[in-house]
Amino acid sequence: MSQVFFIDDEADIRIALEQSFELADIDACFFASVEDALLALKQQTPLAIISDIRLPGLSGLDLLNTVSHHYSGIPVILITGHGDISMAVQAIQDGAYDFIEKPFSAERLLEITHRAIEKRQLTLENESLKRSLKASQTLGPRIIGDTSVIQELRNTITAVADTDADILLFGETGTGKELVARSLHEQSSRRDSNFVAVNCGAVPENLIESELYGHEKGAFTGAETVRIGKFEHAQGGTLFLDEIESMPMQAQIRLLRVLQERAIERVGSNTLIPLNIRVIAATKTDLNEAALQGEFRQDLYYRLNIVTLDLPPLRERKEDIATLFHHFQLVAASRYGKTASALTSQELSQLIGHDWPGNVRELRNAAERFVLLGKIQSGNPIPESTEQSQSLAEQVGLFEKNVIEQALIESNGSIKQTMAKLNVPRKTLYDKMQKYQIIKESYKSSC
């Protein structure tokens, strides 16, 4: 797909600018008339259109009117003669992105074109995110990252998702345990049934059995109606038991029996209700150690520990920080109707230098604050890391990798633009990308 349509009836101008666009790494299609461009628009949609105002046949203003009504959102840049300035100003008011007066330099035109392309790409990306946010969860949540531990996690999720095996998730607070649980559910044949999440630490001890298993009318004072518990509500689907380590010991005994028999009795009932569910439990503590200390039932631990997925803390996958932060920026920008601005090298260094005790959740909050307030240290300041377990060479390499990734993000994967941003030769950039296993296609807009 061409990034730009350029329309001018003068062949010399088209030939001269064709080379300029090529050197700037911009794919462009050239047309001698608006009519030809409109025909091409039916086959492909460019990111921006540049047109002379005065043309044989349909004019640039006719093009602007057609694009505004039928291809809304495509930036239109108009080329004007000296006598057309007032006309061009009126065109801006009618929706044109910008205009440039003849004679103009190729550099000036390319500068305006780059801005128009970036604006359109951001608009398309935000629109895509808005559609994703509004859509019902027909696709599994994204597990973002390219480090080996995350790739292995994704592979394991794929391998066990469409089985009935119960899963135990282990990870610090904020590492994304519920995200992984939802991904397991959405990639399984149970995806059309309920995903039911219960925070075991948030349910009062005297209510936990009623919450999980339901109760019959009159089972206890205040039980005025029959209540369906979380296990029944998850029938056919997935039950996610978060913070399983905080479940009271007495409740653990009944949970073990339910997991073994795959049946429940509501409180106040003697009737067994068969269950067809998958159970995913999550913990931030070592359950084996807790069992040895007598704080968690050992038999329940062994029953849950069929497949265990370890979720790494963010400080152990710092190579993913830039990608995650950019993703959360885009989501926040879509939610709040803001623009996702690029990070400076200093801001990126600050993100990488932080230990992130709150893990991905803390990073997401930092990205939201950045979108809303335009700076990293708003809200809760991010201090510089005071302890570095990596060698100087490892720290320099990590910083260099993230700078290259950030430049690729800002350049939509364009090698030429990335070379210009970093002021490095093409061979040097390719060598470093190969060294850090950076694939440029990963940083191109999905639009």
**The predicted structure's pLDDT at residue 253:** 93
Asked if residue 140 is part of any domain, the answer here is no
Based on the fold, state whether residues 243 and 357 are members of the same structural domain: no
**The predicted structure's pLDDT at residue 323:** 85
Name the least confident of 100-109, 184-193, 210-219, 335-344: 335-344
User: Last residue of some domain: 289, 312, 335?
Assistant: 312
Asked if residue 277 is part of any domain, the answer here is yes
Average pLDDT across the chain, whole number: 86
User: Last residue of some domain: 275, 291, 312?
Assistant: 312
Asked if residue 278 is part of any domain, the answer here is yes
Asked if residue 365 is part of any domain, the answer here is yes
Q: What pLDDT band is residue 200 in, cutting at 50, 70 and 90?
A: very high
Q: Which of 309, 326, 310, 411 is nearest to 366 (CA)?
A: 326
* Predicted confidence (pLDDT) at residue 407 exceeds the cutoff of 90: no
**The predicted structure's pLDDT at residue 48:** 95
Based on the fold, state whether residues 97 and 198 are members of the same structural domain: no
**The predicted structure's pLDDT at residue 402:** 74
**The predicted structure's pLDDT at residue 447:** 31
Rg (CA), the chain: 29
Based on the fold, state whether residues 234 and 162 are members of the same structural domain: yes
Based on the fold, state whether residues 170 and 289 are members of the same structural domain: yes
**The predicted structure's pLDDT at residue 326:** 84
Based on the fold, state whether residues 96 and 217 are members of the same structural domain: no
* Predicted confidence (pLDDT) at residue 381 exceeds the cutoff of 50: no
Asked if residue 438 is part of any domain, the answer here is yes
Give the mean pLDDT of 222-238: 92
Asked if residue 352 is part of any domain, the answer here is yes
Give the mean pLDDT of 136-140: 39
Asked if residue 143 is part of any domain, the answer here is no
Contact residues for 90 (Cβ-Cβ < 8 A; gap 6+): none
Based on the fold, state whether residues 196 and 232 are members of the same structural domain: yes
Q: What is the pLDDT of residues 319-337, one digit of tens each?
A: 899 888 988 888 888 888 8
**The predicted structure's pLDDT at residue 94:** 87
Give the mean pLDDT of 200-229: 88
CATH number at residue 336: 1.10.8.60
| Inter-residue contact 190 to 235 (CB < 8 Å) | no
**Whole-angstrom Cα distance, residue 278 to residue 239?**
6
CATH number at residue 26: 3.40.50.2300
* Predicted confidence (pLDDT) at residue 427 exceeds the cutoff of 90: no
252, two tokens: 């653990």
* Predicted confidence (pLDDT) at residue 14 exceeds the cutoff of 90: yes
| Inter-residue contact 227 to 183 (CB < 8 Å) | no
Contact residues for 134 (Cβ-Cβ < 8 A; gap 6+): none
Strand pairing report for 48-52 and 4-7? parallel
Based on the fold, state whether residues 87 and 200 are members of the same structural domain: no
Based on the fold, state whether residues 126 and 203 are members of the same structural domain: no
Strand pairing report for 263-264 and 273-274? antiparallel
Overall domain count for the chain? 3
Based on the fold, state whether residues 128 and 277 are members of the same structural domain: no
* Predicted confidence (pLDDT) at residue 444 exceeds the cutoff of 60: no
**The predicted structure's pLDDT at residue 293:** 92
* Predicted confidence (pLDDT) at residue 378 exceeds the cutoff of 50: no
Asked if residue 142 is part of any domain, the answer here is no
Q: What is the pLDDT of residues 346-360, one digit of tens each?
A: 788 888 888 899 999
**Whole-angstrom Cα distance, residue 281 to residue 287?**
11
**The predicted structure's pLDDT at residue 391:** 65
Q: Which of 1, 33, 4, 2 is nearest to 97 (CA)?
A: 4
CATH number at residue 279: 3.40.50.300
Give the mean pLDDT of 390-397: 67
* Predicted confidence (pLDDT) at residue 425 exceeds the cutoff of 80: yes
Bridge partners (DSSP) of residue 153 are: none
- Beta strands (DSSP E) in 288-437 are 307-310
* Predicted confidence (pLDDT) at residue 385 exceeds the cutoff of 50: no
What are the two backbone dihedrals, phi and then psi, of residue 223, each rounded to the nearest 5 degrees? -85, 80
Based on the fold, state whether residues 119 and 234 are members of the same structural domain: no
84, two tokens: 């057309």
Q: Is 93 or 440 the better-scoring residue by pLDDT?
A: 93
Based on the fold, state whether residues 290 and 368 are members of the same structural domain: no
**The predicted structure's pLDDT at residue 417:** 84
User: Last residue of some domain: 248, 283, 312?
Assistant: 312
Give the mean pLDDT of 407-423: 81
**The predicted structure's pLDDT at residue 188:** 93
Give the mean pLDDT of 255-267: 94
**Domain range for residue 92?**
4-134
Give the mean pLDDT of 89-97: 88
Name the least confident of 124-138, 203-217, 231-245, 299-313: 124-138
C-beta atoms surrounding 161 within 10 Å? 20
The model's pTM: 0.58
**The predicted structure's pLDDT at residue 384:** 46
Q: Which of 192, 193, 167 is nearest to 181 (CA)?
A: 167
**The predicted structure's pLDDT at residue 91:** 87
Based on the fold, state whether residues 333 and 232 are members of the same structural domain: no
The top-scoring range by mean pLDDT among 204-208, 306-310, 411-415, 439-443 is: 306-310
